[in-house]
Structure 1
Amino acid sequence: MTGSVTVVIPNYNRTNLLEKCLSSILAQTRQVEEVIVIDDHSEQQKFEEIQCIVENFSKNIDIKLLRNGTNKGANYSRNRGIFAAKSDYIAFIDSDDFWMPQKIELQMKAIERHKTLGSTPVFSATGRYRVNGEGQIICRQFGGKRISSAKIRRSNFIGTLSSVIVETWVARFLGGFNERLPACQDWDFFIRLTDYATYVGVPEPLCIYFDHDGARITLNNKKRLSAHIEIYKMHLRNFGAKNTLSHEFLRNIAEDYQCQGDHDRSIRYFAKSILAKTLPKCDLPKKYKNIVENIMLHVIKMRGMPDIRQARYTRYDTIMAKILRNKTSNEKIMKDQNHIHALLK
C-alpha cells in the first residue's frame, strides 16, 4: 500500500525562503507526487520572482502555482490547496520551514503500517527542530506518539503544521481550516481531527521550524489572544475537567497579555495557571478559590512577574542541554545542524 502525497504551501512575499523550502522537498528520499504553492496575492515584483522559482522547480517536480485574487490569509490559501490536491494525502509546510531528507519516507511508512491495522482515517506529525533565524537549533520537540482529545485541548502539542500529513478526504470532510479564527487555526483543526482520525506520531525530528523574528504568517499576539478565547468557547468550556485542561492554556493567555503590555491581566492569568497546575484536582468552593488566587496574586506582585516568553526559551535551553549530554543524541544533532546550515547557504 503506497499513498500519493500532495504538498500544500501557503506563501506571501517570500522568495529566498520559499526556494529553500522547495529544495528541501525536492531532496526527499521518497518523492511526493505533487506540490501546490498558493500565493496570497504577493506584491507584483515578488510574485514575478515566485513565478520564476516555481518554473525552475517544475523541471524536476510536479508543481503548481495558484494565486489569490486578494490577500486572504494563510488558511484560506491552505484550504485552496486542500480542495485542489489530487493525492491521497496532504503534507503541509509553511514557506519559511524546511524538511529533513527522510521526512516523507519515514512518515508515510509509519502511516502505511498503521493503515494495515484498520480503516480509520489517519493524520500524523513528526518531531521537529525549533531553530532561530540563523538556523541554530534551539530545541528538539515532539508532542508524543499518541494524542487524545483531552491532551490536544490542553495545548497544541503538535506545534506546527509543517510536520503534519493528513488524509485528503478527511481534511475536506472537516471543511479544512476555520478561516474565521484570527490565529490558532491549526490547533482548532487538530482538535476537530481527533474526533474522526487516528493520530500517528513519528518521533524523529524531521521538520525544521523557524522561530525567527520575521513576519511569520500566523504570528500576532492580539490575534492569538482572540483566537485562544474562541478556542476556549468552542472546545474547552463544555469539555469538562476544566482544571486538568487549563494550566497550559491559561499560561498562554498570560503570555499573550504580557506581550501586549497588559500587566494586570497577565498576572491574574499567570496566577490561575499556577493554581491549575499545583491544585489540579482540588475541588474548592468558589469563594475559597478566589481567596487562594488573590493570595497568589499578591505573592507574584511581591516577587515580580517573570517574563513568560523568556522562561519558555530558558526551558528550551535546559531541555537541549540535557539531550546533548547523551553522546549518540549529540552526534545526531550536530550532523543535522550541519545539514540545516547547508540548506541556508
Structure 2
Amino acid sequence: MKDQALVSIIIPTYGRCDTLNLAVQSVLKQDYKNIEVLVIDDNDNPIMSKKVLANLSEYQSEPRLKYFSDGVNRGGAGARNKGIELSIGEYITFLDDDDLFLENKISKQIDFLEKEQLDVCLCDMYFKQGDRFIKKSNCYANGTSLKEFILKGNCYTPMIMCKRHILIDIGGFVLTPRFQDHLLMIRILSNTSKVGHLSEQLFVHNNHNGERITYSNKSAEAYILREKMEREYIYLLNANERKTFEFKKALIRMKIYRLKNEYMELLKITLYAMKNLTNFSDVYALGKTLIRVIFFGSKNV
C-alpha cells in the first residue's frame, strides 16, 4: 500500500483568538491523518499572542500541530509565506483562522491530485453569513488555465491544494494587502498547466458583517498591481476577449478615480468603457457603476 503523502496546512492568525480553535479542530479531525498544522501567529502584540497560545493549550500533546511566533506582523501574504518556508509537506493547503474544513477536504483533494496526476487542485466552498448558508457564484473556483483565470478567475486561498515545490518555485504570495489569492493563482498558472478543479464544496468560508470592500488607497494600489500582472498575459486573449478584459478593468478604474477625485481620468475611463461594450449585460454593469461613482462616491462596492 502506498504511503500517504505529508500535507502541510498553514493557518495564519491575527486578532481572531475566538475562532482559531474551531479552525484548528476542523483540520485535526480530517480523515486524512498524515498532516502537519502550522499556526503562524501574525500578531505583534504579546498580549494577543498569549491569548492565541491559551486557545491552543489543549493541543500541547498533539505532535502534528506546530506554532510559530516571532512578534512580527507580516500581513496575510507574509504570514503564509513564512508557513511555506517552515513547512515540510509534499503538498500545502491553507485555512483562514475563522473558516472550517469539512473532514474529508484533504483526502478528497489528494485523491484527485494523484488520480489526475496534477500539481494543483482547486475545490469549491460553502459561504456562511451569520447562521445562514448563502449560494453565491464565488463559492465555486473558476480558472484552471491562465487565459480563463485572467478573464473570469475566482479563487479563495483555502480552495488551493498545491505541491510545495511549485509554491517555492514561484516565490509564494505577492506581498499585497488585497488580491493575494488571485495573484498567487496567476503565478501558479504561469508556472504549471497541471491544474484541476474538483467540483465539490470542501470548506466553509465565514463571511463577517458582509465583508464589504472599500476602495481605500491601499486597495487601489493592490488592484493596479493585479491589473499589471494580468496584462503581462493579455496576448493569450483574442479580440473579443480583450474587449471583455478592458471593459471589466475600466469599471474598477472608474471607482478608483472617483475615490481619488480624479474627475478628468474618470471621464476618460468611462468613455473607454463605453468603447469596449460588447452586450446588454455590459450596458447594465456600466450604468450601475456610473450610479455608484456619481451618487455614492467612495462608498463600499
Fold match (TM-score > 0.5): yes
Give 1:278's aligned residue: 278
Q: How do 1:1-345 residues align onto structure 2 when only pairs under 5 Å count?
A: 2-60=4-62, 62-115=64-117, 122-132=119-129, 134-140=130-136, 141-144=139-142, 147-158=144-155, 160-179=156-175, 181-197=176-192, 198-213=194-209, 221-236=216-231, 239-240=234-235, 241=237, 242-254=242-254, 260=259, 276=276, 278=278, 300=290
SS in 2 for 1:126: strand
Give the SS at the match of 1:166: strand
**Deviations along 1:91-148, whole A, 9 cap, x unmatched?**
1111121112221121111111112xxxxx611221112222x14222242124x621
- 2: CA distance, partners of 1:214 / 1:246: 28
TM-score (normalised: structure 1):
0.70
Q: Which residue type is aligned with residue 97 of structure 1?
A: D
Say what the alpha-carbon RMSD is for the aligned residues: 3.5
Q: How far did residue 279 of structure 1 move?
A: 5.7
Which runs of 5 or more residues in structure 1 are unaligned? 116-120, 281-292, 313-345
- Alpha-carbon displacement from aligned partner over 1:37-89 (angstroms, at most 9, x marks no partner): 11113422221121122332243451111113321211111111101111100
Whole-Å separation in 2 of the counterparts to 1:19 and 1:267: 49
Amino acid at match of 1:236: R
The size of the alignment, in residue pairs, is 283
**Residues 1:261 and 1:195: Cα distance change in structure 2 (over 3 Å):** closer
Residue 124 of structure 1: SS of its match in structure 2? Answer: strand
> 1:194 and 1:71 mapped to 2: Cα distance?
29
Amino acid at match of 2:12: P
Per-residue deviation, 1:269: 5.4
For 1:257 and 1:211, locate their aligned partners in 2 and report how far apart those are by CA, in whole Å: 28
1:262, CA displacement in angstroms? 5.4
Structure 2 gaps, min length 5: none
Q: Contact 1:154–1:249 at 8 Å: present in 2 too? A: no
> Equivalents in 2 of 1:256, 1:103: separation in Å?
38
CA contact 1:54–1:63 (8 Å) conserved in 2:
no
Give per-residue Cα distances to partners, 1:214-258, cap 9 Å, x unaligned: 889x98743222111112223315623432323444444445567
CA distance in 2, matches of 1:275, 1:307: 23
